[in-house]
Amino acid sequence: MSTDKTIVNLQNTLKIDRSSIKLLPMNEQEISIEKQQILSAVETILKSGISHLSAITCQQLENEFVLLYHFWKSDGLTLRISLDEKCLQIDSICLLIPGAEFYEREAREMFGIEFLGLPNPTPLLLPDGWQGGYPMRKKEQANKENPKDTPRQEKGKSV
C-alpha cells in the first residue's frame, strides 16, 4: 500500500509495535498512538509526503473518547487516540495543518474535547449562549453534566 513507508517511519519515530496497527476494509490502516505523540506523529506523516487530512472523527465509547485523524494518499491512514473521559485535552494540530481547524472546532462543540492551542475557539455550529450541553455525547451524560437542558418550545408560544 502507498502508506506503508509512512507507517514504517511512524513506527521508528514513535516506537510503536506492530500490534497497534490494524487493517480496516477499503485499504485503510489504523495506528493507535498516545495523545502525547500527536504532534510528532503528524509531523512524521507530513514529512513522509502525506499532506491530506480528510477529517477528524470524535466518538464516545464506554469510558473513553476516541479521536481518529484520517489521512489519505491513494490509501487511507488513520491515527487513533484514546482520551480518558476525566481529561479531555489534546494538542491542536492547526499549526501543522491549518485545514484541521473546523474539524477540531466541531469536536470541541459537539463532544467537549479541549484542543490546546486552537487558534479560534469560538462557536462554529452551535448558537451563542447554547445551554444544551454537548449534543453528540450519549444522552445520559449530556444531561448529568448540564441539568439546564434547553426547554422545548410549547405549542403556539413564541420564545
Question: Phi then psi for 113, rounded to 5 degrees?
Answer: -80, 135
Give the residue among 45, 51, 83, 89 at the shortest CA–CA distance from 67. 83
CA–CA separation, 16 and 158 (whole Å):
57
Query: Smallest gap, in angstroms, from Cβ of residue 15 to another protein?
Result: 25
**Residue from 12, 24, 43, 144 that binds another protein (CB under 8 A)?**
24
Residue 52 in the binding site for another protein (CB under 8 A): yes
Residue 14 in the binding site for another protein (CB under 8 A): no
**Residue from 44, 76, 79, 115 that binds another protein (CB under 8 A)?**
76
| Residues contacting 134, CB < 8 A, separation 6+ | 109, 110, 111, 112, 142, 145
**Residue from 12, 34, 126, 150 that binds another protein (CB under 8 A)?**
126
Residue 39 in the binding site for another protein (CB under 8 A): no
Q: How far is CA 70 from the centre of its chain?
A: 9
Under the rule (CB under 8 A), what is the footprint of another protein? 24-28, 51-55, 57, 59, 68, 70, 72, 74-76, 78, 97-103, 123-127, 135-136
